[in-house]
Amino acid sequence: MFTKARKKFTIGGVALASALLLGSCSSSGTDTDASSSPSAVSGGTYSIAIEDPQTIVPTDCYELYCQQVLSATYTGLFTFEAGESGAYEVTPSELTNSVETTDDGKNWEITLNPGFTFTNDEKVTASTFVDTWNYTANGGNGQQLGFVFSPSYLNVVGYEDVSGPKTTGETMSGLAVAKDDDLTIEVTLEKALSPEIFQNFLAGPQIMPMPTVGLKDPKAFDKQLIGNGPYMMAEPRTGQEIKVVKNPDYAGTAGLADGVDFRVYENKQTMWADLQGDNLDLIPDLPNNALSSASSVLGDRYVNDPGALSYSFYGFASDSKTFKEKDVRIAISKAINWSEINEKIWFDTRSTATSFAPDTIPGGGTDLCGDKCVFDATAAKSLLDGAGGLPGGSVEIGVIASDSKDTQTAACNQLQTNLGIKCSLKTFSGFGEYLDFLSSGDAPDNFIYALGWVADHPTIQAMITIFESSNFANDIQYSNAEVDRLIAEGNVASDPTTQQQKWVEAEQLILEDFYAYPYQMRNTVAGWSNRIDNVVVNPLGMINIPKISVTEQS
Amino acid sequence: MAIVGRYAARRGLQFVPVFFGTTFLVYFLMFALPGDPLANLSVGKQANPAYLAYLQEQFNLDDPFFVQYLKYLGGIFTGDLGQTFRGQSVAEIFVERFPVTLKLALTAFVFEALLGVGIGVWAALRKGRFIDNLSLAGSLILISIPVFVLGYVAQWLFGVKLGWFPVAGISAGWPMAYILPAIVLAALSLAYVLRLTRQSLLETLNSDFIRTARAKGLPPWTILRKYGLRNSLIPVVTFLGADLAALMGGAVVIEGIFNVPGIGQQLYSSIRLGEAVVVVGLVTALVIIYLLVNLLVDLLYGVLDPRIRYE
Q: pLDDT of A495-515, one tens digit each?
A: 999 999 999 999 999 999 999
Residues from chain B that touch A143, judged by Cβ atoms under 8 A, are: 51
Q: Is residue B48 part of a domain?
A: no
Q: In a 3-state reduction of DSSP, which class is residue A242?
A: strand
For strands A96-101 and A350-352, give the pairing: unpaired
- Best interface-test mutation with B: which of A172, A200, A267 has the largest number of B CBs within 10 A? A267
Q: What does DSSP assign to residue A370?
A: G
Domain encompassing residue B168: 95-304
* Nearest-CB residue to A239 (from B44, B96, B167): B96
Query: Cβ of A62 and B96 within 8 Å?
Result: no
Q: Which of A3-17, A48-62, A354-368 has the lowest mean pLDDT?
A: A3-17
Residue A293 banded pLDDT, cuts 50, 70, 90 = very high
Residue A1 banded pLDDT, cuts 50, 70, 90 = very low
Among candidate residues A547, A537, A529, A531, the one with its CA nearest the CA of residue A44: A531
Q: Which residues 232-251 of A are in CB contact (within 8 Å) with B?
A: 238-241
Element (H, E) at A264: strand A259-265
Strand-pair partners of A537: A543
State the average pLDDT over residues A67-86.
Answer: 94
Residues from chain A that touch B184, judged by Cβ atoms under 8 A, are: none
Residue B224 banded pLDDT, cuts 50, 70, 90 = confident
pLDDT > 70: percent of chain A = 92
- Name the domain count of chain B: 1
Query: Cβ of B48 and A473 within 8 Å?
Result: no
| Nearest chain B alpha carbon to A238 | B96
Assess whether pLDDT exceeds 50 at residue A11. no
Assess whether pLDDT exceeds 90 at residue A239. no
Q: For residue A271, give how far its alpha carbon lies from the nearest alpha carbon of chain B (Å).
A: 8
Residue B1 banded pLDDT, cuts 50, 70, 90 = low
Q: Does A163 touch chain B (CB under 8 A)?
A: yes
Q: In a 3-state reduction of DSSP, which class is residue A83?
A: coil
Q: Is residue B184 part of a domain?
A: yes
- Best interface-test mutation with A: which of B149, B259, B270, B271 has the largest number of A CBs within 10 A? B259
Q: Does A470 touch chain B (CB under 8 A)?
A: no
pLDDT of residue B310: 66
pLDDT of residue B39: 66
Q: Does B259 touch chain A (CB under 8 A)?
A: yes
Residues from chain B that touch A153, judged by Cβ atoms under 8 A, are: 46
pLDDT in tens, B32-61: 877 777 766 644 444 567 777 787 877 778
Q: Does B170 touch chain A (CB under 8 A)?
A: yes
Q: For residue B154, give how far its alpha carbon lies from the nearest alpha carbon of chain A (Å).
A: 11
- Best interface-test mutation with B: which of A3, A143, A144 has the largest number of B CBs within 10 A? A144
Q: Which residues 214-233 of A are in CB contact (within 8 Å) with B?
A: 218-219, 222
State the average pLDDT over residues A246-260.
Answer: 95
* Nearest-CB residue to A146 (from B50, B163, B169): B50
pLDDT of residue A310: 93
Q: For residue A470, give how far its alpha carbon lies from the nearest alpha carbon of chain B (Å).
A: 11
Q: For residue B255, give how far its alpha carbon lies from the nearest alpha carbon of chain A (Å).
A: 9
CB A372 within 8 A of CB A333: yes
* Nearest-CB residue to A431 (from B40, B166, B257): B40
Q: Does A334 touch chain B (CB under 8 A)?
A: no
Q: Does A297 touch chain B (CB under 8 A)?
A: no
pLDDT of residue B67: 87
Residue A72 banded pLDDT, cuts 50, 70, 90 = very high
pTM of the model: 0.86
pLDDT in tens, A119-130: 999 999 999 999
Q: Which residues 135-154 of B are in CB contact (within 8 Å) with A?
A: 152
Strand-pair partners of A81: A89
CB B87 within 8 A of CB B43: no
Report H helices in chain B.
2-13, 15-32, 37-41, 49-58, 65-77, 90-125, 130-144, 147-154, 176-205, 208-215, 220-222, 230-232, 234-249, 251-257, 263-273, 276-304
pLDDT of residue A390: 94
Q: For residue A545, give how far its alpha carbon lies from the nearest alpha carbon of chain B (Å).
A: 22
Residue B5 banded pLDDT, cuts 50, 70, 90 = confident
CB A174 within 8 A of CB A129: no
Q: Tell me the backbone φ, ψ of residue B62, rounded to 5 degrees.
A: -85, -20
Q: Is residue B142 part of a domain?
A: yes
Residues from chain B that touch A222, judged by Cβ atoms under 8 A, are: 86-88
Q: What does DSSP assign to residue A465?
A: G
Residues from chain A that touch B269, judged by Cβ atoms under 8 A, are: 52, 266
* CA A362 – CA A368 distance, rounded (Å): 15
Q: Which of A83-97, A278-292, B30-44 has the lowest mean pLDDT?
A: B30-44
Q: Does B45 touch chain A (CB under 8 A)?
A: yes
Residues from chain A that touch B38, judged by Cβ atoms under 8 A, are: 432
Q: Does A473 touch chain B (CB under 8 A)?
A: yes
In terms of Cβ atoms closer than 10 Å to its own Cβ (0-12, 13-18, 19+), residue A160 is: middle
Q: Is residue B99 part of a domain?
A: yes
Q: Is residue B44 part of a domain?
A: no
Residue-averaged pLDDT of chain A: 89
Query: Cβ of B46 and A432 within 8 Å?
Result: no
Q: What does DSSP assign to residue A277?
A: T
Residue-averaged pLDDT of chain B: 85
pLDDT in tens, A380-429: 999 999 999 999 999 999 998 877 889 999 999 999 999 999 999 999 88
Assess whether pLDDT exceeds 80 at residue A3. no
State the average pLDDT over residues A434-456.
Answer: 89
Assess whether pLDDT exceeds 60 at residue A104. yes
Q: Is residue B129 part of a domain?
A: yes
Report H helices in A262-301.
268-276, 294-298
State the average pLDDT over residues A92-111.
Answer: 94
Query: Cβ of B261 and A240 within 8 Å?
Result: yes
Assess whether pLDDT exceeds 70 at residue B109. yes
pLDDT of residue A177: 96
Q: Which residues 514-553 of A are in CB contact (within 8 Å) with B?
A: none
* CA A209 – CA A295 distance, rounded (Å): 39
| Nearest chain B alpha carbon to A142 | B51
- Sheet arrangement for strand A184-188: A96-101, A107-112, A184-188, A175-177
| Nearest chain B alpha carbon to A164 | B50
Q: For residue A98, give how far its alpha carbon lies from the nearest alpha carbon of chain B (Å).
A: 28
* CA A144 – CA B47 distance, rounded (Å): 9
Assess whether pLDDT exceeds 90 at residue A197. yes
Higher pLDDT, A327 or B274: A327
* Nearest-CB residue to B167 (from A165, A277, A472): A277
Q: Where are the beta strands (DSSP E) in A55-113?
A: 78-82, 88-92, 96-101, 107-112
Q: Is residue B12 part of a domain?
A: no
Residue B30 banded pLDDT, cuts 50, 70, 90 = confident
CATH of the domain at B228: 1.10.3720.10
pLDDT of residue B311: 59
Query: Cβ of A164 and B96 within 8 Å?
Result: no
Residues from chain A that touch B257, judged by Cβ atoms under 8 A, are: 267, 269-270
pLDDT of residue A25: 35
pLDDT in tens, B162-205: 989 998 888 888 888 999 999 999 998 999 999 999 999 999 98
Q: Does A290 touch chain B (CB under 8 A)?
A: no
Q: Does B269 touch chain A (CB under 8 A)?
A: yes
Query: Cβ of A270 and B88 within 8 Å?
Result: no
Residue A18 banded pLDDT, cuts 50, 70, 90 = very low
State the average pLDDT over residues A256-280.
Answer: 93
Assess whether pLDDT exceeds 90 at residue A462. yes
Higher pLDDT, A86 or A242: A242
Query: Cβ of B43 and A6 within 8 Å?
Result: yes
Query: Cβ of B58 and A142 within 8 Å?
Result: yes
Assess whether pLDDT exceeds 50 at residue A379. yes
State the average pLDDT over residues A194-213.
Answer: 95
* Nearest-CB residue to A142 (from B47, B54, B100): B54
Residue A440 banded pLDDT, cuts 50, 70, 90 = confident
Cis peptide before A287 (omega within 30 of 0): no
* CA B134 – CA B129 distance, rounded (Å): 9
Strand-pair partners of A265: A51
Q: Is residue B32 part of a domain?
A: no
For strands A282-283 and A516-528, give the pairing: antiparallel
